[in-house]
Amino acid sequence: MTRLTLALDVMGGDFGPRVTIPAISLALKHHPTLSFILFGDQAMVTPLLTRLPTEYQQRIQLVHTPKLIDEALPFTQALRQSKGSSMYLAVHSVAQGETDGCVSGGNTGLLMGLAKQQISLLPEITRPALTSLIPTLNGKSSVMLDLGANVEADSRLLLQFAEMGNIFAQTLLDLVYPRLALLNIGTEDNKGTRQIREAHQALKLANHLNYIGYIEGDKLMNHVSDVIVCDGFNGNIALKTLEGAVKNTFSFFKKPTEDSHFCHNSKRYLLKLMFHHYYRKLQKINPDRHNGATLLGLSSVVVKSHGGANINAFYYAIEYAISQIRGEIPRKISVGLDNLSH
C-alpha cells in the first residue's frame, strides 16, 4: 500500500499531547505505511514520544513550534498572529505538498481560515463545508454538511454542498445513488427559509441526484437519508444536540459510583443489567467513533477533531482523514463537478 504522511497539530484541543500522542500510537499500530509530521512544543511532546515503541518513533518527525494562539482572540487577530503556530504549520505542510493531509483539534474558525488562506478551493466551489459522518440507529452512517463552517448559506451554496455530499457518500460509504435530503422545520414545500425553499426546488430538478425532499431533526439518526444538507448554523446546533443526547444516554448507563445515593444507584445498576444488550447496541452510535469533520471543498484533506476529544475519539479523527486520502475524495469531487459542468 502507498505510504501516507499526515501533519498533526499536536497542541490543538483541550488536552493537547496527552491525547494526541497516544492516538497517534494507535494509528501507527493499525497502519504500517503511515507516518506523521508533528507540530508542537518539544518540551511537552518529547517525553510522551519516548514512551512509544522505537519502530513508531522512526515514523514520526517532530517540528518544534512553541508558539500558541490565545483562544480568546477575535478571529481576524488570531489569524494575523497565527504564523508559526502548530496549526498554521500543519496546514502549511499540506499546502506545500510535504504531507497528504492534516488533523487538528484547535479552533474551528481559525482552522478554516488558515486552510482557505493556504490551500486552494476545488473548481466550482465557493466555500468549504464542514462535513462529518453521523451514526444511525441501524449501525450505518449518514453524511451531514455543513456543520458550522458557514453560518449562513444561500441556495447556490446549499446546492454545492449537495453535489459534494453526494460524491462524498458515493466514495466513502460505497453508495451508487445516495438519498439526499435538506434539513428543515417541516416536510411541506412551503416550510423553511427562502434559501431552503429555493434549494429545494432546484434539487427537485437535478435528475442526477436522488433527492427525497426535506428531513426534520427527529429523523437524523433514522437513516432515512444518506446525505443531509443544511447551513452551518442549523447543522452545528443539530449535531451538538444529537451528541449531547447520546452522551447523556451513555452517562445514564455507566457503572454507578459508590456514593450516598445507594438506592438510586442500585436501581440504575439493575436497569443497566436489564438493558445490557441494548447498551452494547448503543456503542454503534457512540459519538467518539464518529469524531472528525472534514473541510470538504478544499483540494486537500483537512480534518477538525472535537476539542474535547479523548484518545479514542482523536484516533477516529485520524482514521477519518486517512480514509479520505486513500479514497482520493478531493480529486473525485473535482472530477464529478467538472463532469456536471460539461
CATH of the domain at 109: 3.40.718.10
pLDDT for residue 74 = 86
Return the pLDDT at 248.
75
139 and 280, same domain (yes or no): yes
Distance CA 65, CA 68 (A): 8
58, 181: one domain: no
The letter for the amino acid at 303 is: V
**Looking at the domain assignment, is residue 339 inside a domain?**
no
Range of the domain at 190: 126-254+266-292
When divided into structural domains, the chain yields a total of 2
pLDDT at 31: 96
Question: Does residue 306 lie in a domain region?
Answer: yes
**Is 224 found in the same domain as 137?**
yes
**C-alpha cell of residue 182:** 435538506
Give the rounded distance of the alpha carbon of 274 from its chain centre.
34
Q: Is residue 114 part of a domain?
A: yes
Residue that has been written with the C-alpha cell 443489567 in this structure = 273
> Do residues 278 and 145 share a domain?
yes
Q: Are residues 281 and 153 in the same domain?
A: yes
Is residue 261 one of the residues assigned to a domain? no
What is residue 5's predicted lDDT score, i.e. its pLDDT? Answer: 97
**What is the C-alpha radius of gyration for the chain, rounded to an integer number of angstroms?**
21
pLDDT of 13 reads: 87
pLDDT at 1: 65
pLDDT, averaged in runs of 10, over the chain (342 residues): 92 92 97 97 96 96 90 85 94 97 93 94 93 89 94 95 96 95 94 95 95 95 96 93 77 55 57 57 67 95 93 95 95 89 70
pLDDT the model gives residue 21: 97
Residue at 107 is within a domain: yes
